[in-house]
Amino acid sequence: MANLICYFCLVALHFIIYHSLQIVNSTDQFDIVLDFSAYEPKWVHDAIGILQGKMDKEKSVYLYISTDSVYEVCEEKTSQRRSVETDARRPNDIKARKHLKVSDVA
């Protein structure tokens, strides 16, 4: 079953990448690009490379929005794997929440 789910994820990812590249290739210029998907810095670099020549340096905006701060104010995860959405759990204790919030700002 896990192999089937993994295969499905790969097919879905291929579909998303293929169609995203079709949109990029068929669009002459982008005014705004919002990137929520990059997990590694190289992915941001790659996206900027693909968009080269399709964004006006004076007028266009590339905005990368990270969810990193969401995880910094949550309980620590118990494994070394990459973070997933279910890792973002706020502590039930109000004092612990305040402590995490203060440490995120610092």
| pLDDT tens sequence across 24-64 | 889 999 999 988 877 778 888 888 898 999 999 899 998 88
> Whole-angstrom Cα distance, residue 18 to residue 4?
21
Domain count along the chain: 1
Residue 79: how many CA atoms within 13 Å on its side-chain side?
6
For residue 26, the one-letter residue type is S
Judged against a pLDDT cut of 60, whether residue 1 lies above it is answered with no
Judged against a pLDDT cut of 80, whether residue 76 lies above it is answered with no
Examine residue 101 and state whether it is found in any structural domain, yes or no: yes
> Whole-angstrom Cα distance, residue 96 to residue 73?
9
For residue 24, the one-letter residue type is V
Examine residue 105 and state whether it is found in any structural domain, yes or no: yes
The predicted pLDDT at position 88 comes to 73
- Neighbouring CB atoms inside 10 A of 30's CB total 15
Task: Look up residue 101 and give its two tokens.
Answer: 């919030």
Examine residue 18 and state whether it is found in any structural domain, yes or no: no
The predicted pLDDT at position 42 comes to 87
Identify which has the larger pLDDT, 32 or 73.
Answer: 32
